[in-house]
Amino acid sequence: MQYGAYSTDSLMSITSRPELVFESGKGSWLVDQRGKSYLDFIQGWAVNCLGHCPPEISAALLAQAERLINPSPAFYNAPMVELAGLLTANSVFDRVFFANTGAEANEGAIKLARKWGRLHRDGAYEIVTFGHSFHGRTLATMSASGKAGWDTLYAPQVAGFPKAVYNDIASVEALIGAKTVAVMLEPVQGEGGVIPADPAFMKALRELTRARGILLIVDEVQSGMGRTGKLFAYEHAAIVPDIMTLGKGIGGGVPLAALLAREEICCFEAGDQGGTYNGNPLMTAVGVAVVRRLLQAGFLGEVEARGQYLAKRLLELSARHGQHGERGCGLLRAMILADERGPEIVRRGLELAPQGLLLNAPRPNLLRFMPALNVSEAEIDQMIAMLDGLLQG
């Protein structure tokens, strides 16, 4: 597609993109090059937790850009220290390593677990993960993921990630042996189709891993930072994991991620782990602004209430159109379709006029909803009205 003096063909093709270029955004709305607005229930894949261009993020970026952008990861900087303090004070973890992407944070979790296994479990290195899981797109995190086809796409895989069945504790137990160092899971499988782990399964996993002397790693890149109505999804099961990773929402739209661990697990020594941009003040200043907003009195209660409202409206819509209901946690939800019209509904949502609708279909029979955490009831109603029309068509 031609865009002014340039062509989109100059970009490497990695996915089929619609023929539009987004030029601006505010809250739950995006605007394309022709001036058409779209109601955004994707929000950068559950990333823009405060919506598009929220004032607290713009202000944090501007203020930090004028003060200090990059002293080097070899030195402490103010927002890095402050954000680590906020995260440890509001979680069960003691230390933080900042990264730029969820995949990179998960790579760090895998390295930390393997190092711990070398020191404390006789070189054990295997990490049990789950079918249909998603942990990122680096070679190790693709190998950890249970996505169909990824075992051969860039073969050979990184070894050491046997796959258990989600919500099936016996399948995990069967895979634990002398080489096992950890179990890693998403408390809600996001890319796999918005499938929450049963709190009883999370509790059983914690008991099992503790009894066998191995680590429990929660990948909260999608489920963390208020997305499920609690600051972190592990809180729903009232468990204490050993390691957690964060991404997406923590940066509210900028590249920021984090690896958190309990003190007794932190075994990196000088030189073991690092990265040029890790903990840079420009991004961690945004993280501070995001966390401060999420911790404001009543914010997470509102997310919970909006999640229940969205669930209720989706259920009504599903019943009216003979679809198969909805599921999810907080503001990470999915409607289960009676057929495989998901991709078609997503495409027709884009084409709606005068305003378009942005939805995602992680599977052909599933529509996923991941609006801004501060989405209004009126915006939910507007989305439901648009979807109502799309389901009729």
Ligand X SMILES: *Cc1c(COP(=O)(O)O)cnc(C)c1O
What residues make contact with ligand X under the rule CB under 6 A? 101-103, 106, 134-136, 186, 190-191, 219, 221-222, 247-248
- Residue 157 tokens, joined: 């895989």
CA-nearest of 58, 141, 160 to 102 is 141
Q: What is the largest CA-CA distance in the chain?
A: 63
We find the least distance from the C-beta atom of residue 109 to ligand X, in angstroms, to be 10
* Nearer to ligand X among residue 15 and residue 392 (C-beta): 15
Least CB distance from residue 222 to ligand X, whole Å?
A: 3
Nearer to ligand X, 43 or 318 (CB): 43
Query: Within a 13 Å sphere around the CA of 94, how many CA atoms are in the beta-carbon half?
Result: 7
Q: How far is the CB of 378 from ligand X (least distance, A)?
A: 28
> CB of 248 within 8 A of CB of 47?
yes
Does residue 354 have a cis peptide bond before it, meaning omega lies within 30 degrees of 0?
yes
Positive/negative CA dihedral, 172, 173, 178, 181:
positive
Asked if residue 337 lies in contact with residue 365, where contact means CB atoms within 8 angstroms, the answer is yes
**DSSP state for residue 340 in the 8-state scheme:** S
Q: Work out how close the CB of 355 gets to ligand X at its nearest, in angstroms, rounded to a whole number.
A: 27
Residue number of the CB atom closest to ligand X: 102
C-beta of 248 vs 306, nearer to ligand X: 248
Q: What is the nearest approach in angstroms of ligand X to the Cβ of residue 107?
A: 9
Nearer to ligand X, 136 or 146 (CB): 136
Nearer to ligand X, 209 or 222 (CB): 222
Residue among 135 and 306 whose Cβ is closer to ligand X: 135
Distances (CA, A) of 86 to 63, 343, 366: 20, 40, 36
What is the closest distance, in whole angstroms, from the C-beta atom of residue 136 to ligand X in the complex? 4
CB of 33 to ligand X, least distance (A): 26
Closest CA to 105 of 6, 230, 246: 246
Nearer to ligand X, 107 or 379 (CB): 107
**Which residues, 6+ apart, have CB-to-CB distance to 34 below 8 Å?**
20
- Which residues, 6+ apart, have CB-to-CB distance to 331 below 8 Å? 227, 228, 229, 303, 306, 307, 310, 369, 370, 371, 373, 375
